[in-house]
Chains A and B, each alone.
Chain A
Amino acid sequence: MTTAGDLPPSSHWRDVVAWVLHLVLYSVLLAGYFLLVLRYLAGWFAQLFHHHRAEYALFGILIMIAQAVALDSISAFILRVFRIARK
């Protein structure tokens, strides 16, 4: 089995720092995002759920996919910039 111990120390360090950067980035994003979701989307989704179930289902899936792709893209971008800077 390949273990983390087989990798050069610089690789470990880079991964750890990259993950910490991820966490910091997500913390900032979450703070702003929750303001949006909790203040504006909650009531709108509740209305859709009770009165327009098909639209609720459709928008629910779409916003989940959009959120996942957006968060992953931003995260990957930051990681790429960080690794390029290290080189």
Chain B
Amino acid sequence: MHFPISGVDISPLLLISLGFLVGILGGFFGVGGSFLAGPALFALGVPMNFVVGTDLTHIVGKSIVAARRHFVLGSVDLRLAAIMVLGTIAGIQAGVYGIEALKKIGEVNQVVGVVAIVVYTSISLFVAYESWKSLQIPLGRKRASSLPPAAKDKQVFRAFAKWVQELPLGPRIALPFSGIKSISIAAILLVSFVGGAFSSFLGGGAGYIRMPAMVYLLGIPTHIAVGTDLFEIVLSASIGSFEHALKGNVDVLIALIMQTGAAVGAQIGATLTQYFSGPRLRLAFAPLPLLGAGLILHTLLTGHGLK
């Protein structure tokens, strides 16, 4: 099928399948799946600026479905989400300007591709290391299966998260839903700004960086980080998509078709989170960004799919 907006030819069935896959990932891991969807679109011949904008637009619909499910399950910290939206919106603006600057000099494919490879590989290695170390920590006499999710959520970087929570930066806020007595609003805004910037620069919701940052830096329990991240992405991705669409970086038809597959995948993924939690969930997430990095590297080296 020919897509007149981006000027590419792609099978709709491929797009539906891709949407379905990233829908499951989004619902299950709390990330948008852009670390796979973006590289896959790039490999299919979609120009990188359209990959970024279209993936972000596709996230809007998908995250609404997944966030609604997590909200019903009670895994959304609304106070945290409200603060993070502010930082994310500012970050999105920064990312959009970055893409526009690269478009002007004709280097968007190469620069965004290389940054994505570095980021995805780093995230993959870091999460694998941390999850593996967490699983080595004994849980005591009580069997792991008899403990609540928060107690099982042992983190190697808990001391670091505690240090961040105690940073003497005002104003501060309590997040009782996440079990945090007091934390600097600036720390939350910084994490969300970086996430927003990556979101609009690399595409998708950037849950691959925001979700680990919430767990490791802010000390948010994994299951709440998953739900809150999705809830916050709804608004931030909408704004980012609008900005990118104005700049001519969005193919709505591709996003619509991908979202039809993602809608059902997200429900399945969100339901699966009831069966798995904590370090095991993060360990399963670890190799996925690496797959995306490999796909981009292959496309950049071979030029396959690119016009």
A contacts, CB < 8 Å to B: 1-4, 6, 15, 19, 22-23, 26, 29-30, 33-34, 37-38, 41-43, 45-46, 49, 53-54, 56-61, 63-65, 67-69, 71-72, 75
Q: Are A26 and B246 in contact (CB under 8 A)?
A: no
The 8 A CB mask of B235-250 against A (1 = contact, 0 = none) is 0001001100110101
Q: Are B60 and A65 in contact (CB under 8 A)?
A: yes
Count contacts on B: residues with CB < 8 A to the other chain.
Answer: 43
- Taking CB atoms, residues of chain A closer than 8 Å to B278 are 1
Q: Does B152 sit at the interface, judged by CB under 8 A?
A: yes
Q: Does B276 sit at the interface, judged by CB under 8 A?
A: yes
Closest 5 CB pairs of A and B: A68-B61, A57-B245, A60-B252, A46-B4, A71-B263
Q: Are A68 and B241 in contact (CB under 8 A)?
A: no
**Cα distance, A61 to B58, chains bound together (Å):** 9
- Taking CB atoms, residues of chain A closer than 8 Å to B299 are none
- Taking CB atoms, residues of chain B closer than 8 Å to A53 are 245-246, 248
Q: Does B83 sit at the interface, judged by CB under 8 A?
A: no
Q: Are B263 and A1 in contact (CB under 8 A)?
A: no
How close is A74's CB to chain B, nearest CB, in angstroms? 10
**Cα distance, A53 to B243, chains bound together (Å):** 11
Nearest residue, chain A, Cβ from B3? A42
| A64 partner, pick from B58, B145, B264, B275, beta carbons under 8 A | B58
Q: Does B119 sit at the interface, judged by CB under 8 A?
A: no
**Cα distance, A19 to B280, chains bound together (Å):** 24
A-B contact pairs, 28 of them (CB 8 A): A2-B145, A6-B145, A19-B268, A22-B264, A22-B267, A26-B264, A38-B1, A38-B12, A41-B253, A45-B253, A49-B5, A56-B245, A57-B250, A59-B252, A60-B250, A61-B57, A61-B60, A64-B259, A65-B64, A67-B259, A68-B60, A68-B62, A68-B259, A68-B263, A69-B65, A71-B263, A75-B264, A75-B267
